[in-house]
Amino acid sequence: MRVTSLHIYPVKSGRSISLDQAHLRPRGLARDRRWIITDENNRFLTQRECGALARIIATPTDIGVTLSTDGGDAIDIAFPSTKVREAVVVWKDTVLALPAGTVADLWVSAIAGRPARLLFMDDDADRNTPGKWGAKTPVSFADGFPLLVTSTSSLSDLNNEITKGAGESVGMERFRPNIVIEGSDPWAEDYWSLLEIGDVTIELVKPCARCLVTTKDQRTGEVKGRAPLRTLGRIRRSTHPDLQGALFGWNAAVIKQGRINVGDSVKVLERRENGWPLA
């Protein structure tokens, strides 16, 4: 098995950036989901309620981030210089983040089509995983965990099931992974617990229950039908008492930091012998 692709999302719910290599840190891949768009009350926005965020292309720079859209004008946003933090609500968490300023707010509001703000999580901001699934670890503005790991063979099997039902196959971008692995059997990740990838080690802590974002075009934010959720609900429905929903991919925590590259070998160090309970 090997890593076939690496992805970050500099702005939460913005478009993916593909990388040949990345530094893996406690919060996940460097520069992943450190910027966030909120409503005017500083509650996080995602593609769930604002599909237009998929149009945002965020390119990290040495001084901040460049924001653009397909065919639109780009804007350079510097890391916030203010020391005044504001409380941002992400699910049940409250994070003290730094506002990017009025110019940035106006730009993201125009894309979102509603009043919106842009804020940044610096290294001093504090947010951790809940500790329900493994030990508490630092996390960015990701939904819940530092990493999402998927496999190409599982996607292929899923698409086979989708097309059997006369649906249209979907791309991996619908699942917004960080690390994509090839060379495994379909759904083998259900049995992985600890992975060594090149010089780094990660722990797969729980599968990821999927939402309506997987039905949206990841360039426009438009809903493209019921795939893949309908099929996942049939073949990958969790029966674990603490995790309901249709599953694809695994959330992971960082055990050993380092550099990770496309092409790195993947070795299973520890296994989850009983897999995951499915209907």
Q: What is the CATH number of the domain that holds 168?
A: 2.40.33
Kindly state whether residues 154 and 200 are assigned to the same domain: yes
How large a percentage of the chain has pLDDT more than 90? 100
- pLDDT tens-digit series, residues 256-268: 999 999 999 999 9
Kindly state whether residues 103 and 196 are assigned to the same domain: no
Structure-token pair, residue 161: 């099931």
- pLDDT tens-digit series, residues 202-222: 999 999 999 999 999 999 999
Q: Count the Cβ atoms, other than its own, within 10 Å of residue 225.
A: 12
Element (H, E) at 269: strand 266-271
Kindly state whether residues 109 and 187 are assigned to the same domain: no
Element (H, E) at 9: none
SS3 sequence of 199-231? CEEEEEEEEEECCHHHHECCCCCCECCCCCHHH
Kindly state whether residues 232 and 165 are assigned to the same domain: yes
Cβ atoms of 83 and 42 closer than 8 Å: no
- pLDDT tens-digit series, residues 58-87: 999 999 999 999 999 999 999 999 999 999
Kindly state whether residues 165 and 235 are assigned to the same domain: yes
Cβ atoms of 72 and 78 closer than 8 Å: no
What's the structural domain count of the chain?
2
Global confidence as pTM? 0.97
Nearest one of 109, 115, 119 to 56, comparing CA atoms: 109
pLDDT confidence bin for 33, thresholds 50/70/90: very high
Residues 6+ apart with CB under 8 A from 97: 36, 85, 86, 88, 119, 120, 121, 122, 125
Structure-token pair, residue 145: 């965990």
- pLDDT tens-digit series, residues 111-144: 999 999 999 999 999 999 999 999 999 999 999 9
156-166 mean pLDDT? 96
Residue ranges making up the domain that contains 46: 29-120
